[in-house]
Structure 1
Amino acid sequence: MRALCWHGKHDVRCDTVPDPGIEHPRDAIVKVTSCAICGSDLHLFNGFIPGMESGDILGHEFMGEVVEVGAENHRLKVGDRVVVPFTIICGECDQCRRGNFSLCERTNRNKGTADKAFGHTAAGLFGYSHLTGGYSGGQAEYVRVPYADVAPVVVPEGIVDESVLFLGDILPTGWQAAKQCDIQPGEVVAIWGAGPVGQFAALSALMLNAGRVIVIDRVPERLAMAEHIGATALNFEHVSVVDALNEQTDGKGPAKCIDAVGLEAHASASMDSMYDRVKQAVMLESDRPHVLREMAYVCRPGGVLSIPGVYGGMVDKFPMGAIMNKGLTIRTGQTHVNRWTDDLLRRIVEGEIDPSFVITHRIALEQGPEMYKTFRDKKDGCIKAVISM
């Protein structure tokens, strides 16, 4: 089969690789019909996530048709259309029973490595390094899905791929980012990053009765999209984010702040951003936390910092004093996808949400390597690229 494979920093290729097969009786094999390139994939492309090996198959946002099931998988049948969450879950461990699906205790095949890196392992993830289990990803013609009798979301008839594809990652990620803010009616929510997760976080915050949602970015197409769904846009290259947020909140600051950027944060000629770039370049710091610092500084006392953006290692100059003295709450983590999918699928079926509005590019698998560069460089108005098989 064909698949997009990682061969090093800035080196993604469309390779021919062996087809996957059933390895455990609970498995299923899915023939991919649609997949997407996620902003998190760019962290792999840019070499910031450890544990990648040459030839690893990328992609954690995919859906398709079940073509084979293991003998103990009694939930799925051949012919089912499914969206596959990026988190691999067993459904039986203590964390899964609590609904903390991204913290599944069983599915990371490289638990020992993750224990050393983070203290304790979290769930295995598709296409996201050997630190999270080394599972082949979904930017491929076929995927082996472990524990397939638990996580895959069966798609109702009559629903097109583009309406439900993002149930596997970015839609529930944006939703969780807003939900864990505990938004009260009328509150101001500020969101750093107007990529797809930022768009869905903004939409979710508005649906959860935020009084105003302010989205911060520097890419005109992204800011225009945020305005189209009802958010207020701030271009950080044109204004001081801290001053603008204080002006728009009567000097109090936003009550809830969401970091939809993660470890590759950009800033306009700020000293801390230049400091981070230098330290990152010489491997003295793995992640650039400009957004985290800015959120902690501007957030209203007693507020919440929600962090769906991916971080992979260590950050420097973290403002613990501001966080402690202002009584801020930090909530973060990989998305507990299956906690939200039933509700979100219902909203899609009933027409309350159409997630396809973020799609700007539709390509074939062979165009994937070039699209990684286009997406990284934010060229051609690229906000979200979907690969159709």
Structure 2
Amino acid sequence: MKAVCWMGKENIQVHDVPDPRILNPRDAIVRVTRTAICGSDLHLYDGYVPTLEQGDILGHEFMGEVVEIGPGIDKKKLKVGDRVVVPFTIACGHCFSCEEKLWSLCDNSNPNAWFAEKMMGYSPSGLFGYTHMLGGYAGGQAQYARVPFADVGPIKIPDGLSDDQVLFLSDIFPTGYMAAENCNIKSGDTVAIWGCGPVGQFAIRSAFMLGAGRVIAIDHVQDRLALASAAGAETLNFEEVNTLDALRDLTGNRGPDSCMDAVGMEAFGHGALYLYDRIKQALRMETDRPVVIRECIQACKKGGTVSIPGVYAGFDDTIPLGALMNKALTLKTGQTHMMRYMAPLLKRIQAGEIDPSFVISHRLPLADAPEAYKIFRDKEDHCTKVVLDPWAEGAVAA
């Protein structure tokens, strides 16, 4: 089969690789019909997340048709021919964390848990296509994918909905929704969201669904700001205004009720601290650029909530813990507990409350993935989200 392989920093190639096989009784094999490039994939592309190996198959946003199931799967739950969306987190369904509905913290799905424990103390769940520290699972930017614990994660898709409408149930729609839910929104609240990429776009719409009265969206890419404005958000371009001063002015000097970091480890900014982060990150003395976390903590009202769906890899400097503590802020974050949100959000799509395909700007064959990564990373050609078709004409191996 053909698959998108990580071959080194800024080096993505499409190669012929062996087809996946059933390895465990609760596995399934999915013929991938649509897959996407996620903003967190760009952290791998840029070489900021450790424990990738040359040839690893990328991708954690994918869907398709079940073509084979293991002997341990109840056919009432999943059968050959089912059309499914696969969540990016992998969960066994039976451990302590899964029984608590903390699906992204599954105790059994990361075979390399010891590795993650050295960085984090305890391991989260395994993830598709996202380093060996998080399981070393082959990703879904391929023609076929092996799905472990397939009787737990994948959600069946009814007839009448296109792949484009439901693909983002695999990650970014539930991620944006959980991030908004983590803001503890009360009716009429003001929510400030840093980052108007795909997750930020879904977070904006989810915040309104949850009762926010105002959403203030912060970015510097005009296409993204326009999408945010179309959803009803007020927008700030951080290259044109001082974000903290502007938020004080917009909220009567109180600050937003909640602030969300939908950017993560490669945030842009200005000033001495931003330069400090760039230098330390380049020298591998700091894993991330926590520009947005600082601003969220500083901007949030006293007693407010800071939500962090943005991906971070490890250890960061100059986080204003004094402000976090003395302002009595609540901090909520985490990989998305996907199985908690997929079914309810599918119902919202069916009801016509939202069509997630609004975020797609580029539909390309798998063969174009190397160029697509660069276009998405560099925000060229008005790119907001890339969807790849593994079976489109022109999907030839490198």
Q: TM-score, normalised by structure 1?
A: 0.99
Residue from 135, 140, 145 that aligns with 1:143: 145
Tell me what 2:47 maps to.
Answer: 47
SS at match of 1:131: coil
SS at match of 1:185: coil
Q: Structure 1 residue runs of 4+, over 3 Å off?
A: none
Q: Note the C-alpha offset of 1:142.
A: 0.2
Tell me what 2:261 maps to.
Answer: 259
Distance 1:156 1:290 in 2: 42
Tell me what 1:321 maps to.
Answer: 322
Letter in 2 for 1:2: K
- Listed as ranges, the gaps of 5+ residues in structure 1 are none
Give deviations 1:186-232, integer Å, cap 9, x for gaps. Answer: 11100000000000000000111111000000000000000001111
Tell me what 1:20 maps to.
Answer: 20
Report % sequence identity: 57
Aligned-residue RMSD, C-alpha? 0.6
1:57 and 2:57 aligned = yes
Tell me what 1:280 maps to.
Answer: 281
Letter in 2 for 1:362: R
SS at match of 1:107: coil
Q: Note the C-alpha offset of 1:243.
A: 0.7
Distance 1:202 1:308 in 2: 13
Q: Note the C-alpha offset of 1:27.
A: 0.5
Distance 1:241 1:116 in 2: 36
Q: Note the C-alpha offset of 1:353.
A: 1.2
1:1-389 matches, cutoff 5 A? 1-74=1-74, 75-267=77-269, 269-389=270-390
Q: Note the C-alpha offset of 1:350.
A: 1.0
Distance 2:216 2:362 in 1: 26
Distance 2:182 2:100 in 1: 16
Give deviations 1:80-139, integer Å, cap 9, x for gaps. Answer: 000000000000001001110000000001011111111011100000000100000000
Distance 1:343 1:312 in 2: 30
Distance 2:375 2:141 in 1: 17
Give deviations 1:236-276, integer Å, cap 9, x for gaps. Answer: 00011001100000000101001000000101x32211110
* Count of equivalent residues: 388
Distance 1:183 1:195 in 2: 21
Distance 1:186 1:111 in 2: 42
Give deviations 1:31-84, integer Å, cap 9, x for gaps. Answer: 000000000000000001111000000000000000001111112111100000
- Listed as ranges, the gaps of 5+ residues in structure 2 are 391-398
Distance 1:334 1:218 in 2: 25
Distance 2:241 2:117 in 1: 42
Give deviations 1:141-178, integer Å, cap 9, x for gaps. Answer: 00000000111000001111001000010000000000
Letter in 2 for 1:293: R
SS at match of 1:51: coil
Distance 1:125 1:209 in 2: 31
Letter in 1 for 2:358: F
